[in-house]
Amino acid sequence: MTTPTETAAALPFDDLEITPLHAFDAATGTLAGGRCSQCDAQMFPKAFICFSCMSDQVLDEPLVAEGTLYSFTTIHISPTFATPYSIGYVDLVSGVRVLGQLAGEATDFSCDSPMHAIEDEQGPTGWAFTPTVQHIDQEPSA
Ligand SMILES: [Zn+2]
């Protein structure tokens, strides 16, 4: 059986290695972030020291796990995971930029498109971003 620590050690990028496992709460649709009580900076993941003012007064702050895909890439070679898989930066509605795994095919993703987090038990962190399906109103028939 793989423990969370063993899984974290196998993550492909430093940025993902600090991402808390199972940081997404599907019941509330939020990621377990932080907010500095001194300068109000929000962050994900929650840090022990504020990156902005170096205060150690960082409180838990659930961040709505919806946003816009800023950038992404697809990995085709990995000693650890089945390929291809994609990772990307999502700018949350709160303004925090989050690096995460993307669920779906590479052709599903495009920059500036809406994304939201889902549980992803197959992925390394237990959650992933996926495109938010937009319902485009059909033109009225003539
Ligand atoms: Zn601060």
C-alpha 82 – ligand 1 centre gap (Å): 39
**What is the rounded CA–CA span in Å between residue 18 and residue 8?**
8
Instruction: Specify the pLDDT at position 112.
Output: 96
Bond preceding residue 20 cis, omega within 30 of 0:
no
pLDDT digits (tens, 9 = 90+) for 26-84: 999 999 999 999 999 999 999 889 999 999 999 999 999 999 999 999 999 988 888 89
Please provide residue 7's backbone torsions phi and psi, each rounded to the nearest 5 degrees: -65, -45
DSSP string for 19-74: SPTT-EETTTTEEEEEEETTT--EESSPPSS-TTT--S-EEEEEEE-EEEEEEEEE
Instruction: Inform me whether the pLDDT recorded for 13 exceeds 70.
Output: no
Asked whether residue 6 carries a pLDDT value surpassing 70, the answer given is no
Q: Which residues surround ligand 1, an ion (CB under 5 A)?
A: 36, 38-39, 41, 50, 52-53, 55
Q: Decide if pLDDT at 25 tops 80.
A: yes
How much distance in Å is there from the Cα of 58 to the middle of ligand 1? 7
